[in-house]
Amino acid sequence: MALSQVAKIDVNQTVDQLTKLIKYDAKYIIEVANFTHYTLKRVGTHNNAEKWPLGNIFPHELGIGQFNCYSFSFAVNYQIQGGSGFIQLAASWPFPGISRINVGNIDQSGDSPAKEIWYDIDHSLNKSLFNEEDKSISNDSVIVNAYIKEVGSKNIWFYEIREN
């Protein structure tokens, strides 16, 4: 079971600064840094293995989900409240030792956009999805950058959301 927590963040903080602020108690961490004035409202998920650990992410908030498990594979769909559109975030571990991350901007509520972005991470013929490459998408309201980072022996799937 995941341990979830939140921390207030400043729009001028960097990803590296944020990862140094948190004490990590588990091996795997999902972090969503909402640097915007929008609320990210969770409107759908796809849970293949384990469950997406975070709910709504409020403005200037870092959502943190920490867990120890054998494997996980899931995605979430967030509506950008106060802005426009939706964003999807996906994470998966392991795939023959490879961490995977993906993002999307399917403009639809519900579980199916999350499932589609998750499916792309696990089944795409695009080989770039089968590695640890950074991902990025944008819509009218936000820019989303996704990274996989190592901090000590911890693996962090980090999603940075900034205003467009």
Place of tokens 């795939």: 95
Higher pLDDT residue, 43 or 133? Answer: 43
Domain 3-163 fold:
Mutm (Fpg) Protein; Chain: A, domain 2 (2.60.270)
pLDDT recorded at residue 93: 86
- d(CA 95, CA 102) in angstroms, rounded, equals 14
pLDDT recorded at residue 2: 66
Tell me the pLDDT tens digit for each residue of 107-144.
Answer: 999 999 999 999 888 555 454 444 457 899 999 999 99
**What is the domain partition of the chain in residue ranges?**
3-163
Pairing state between β 72-81 and 39-49: antiparallel
Tell me the pLDDT tens digit for each residue of 48-68.
Answer: 989 999 999 999 999 999 988
**Model confidence, pTM:** 0.90
What's the 3-state SS for 19-73? HHHCCCCCCEEEEEEECCCCEEEEEEEEEEECCCCCCCECCCEEEEEEECCCCEE
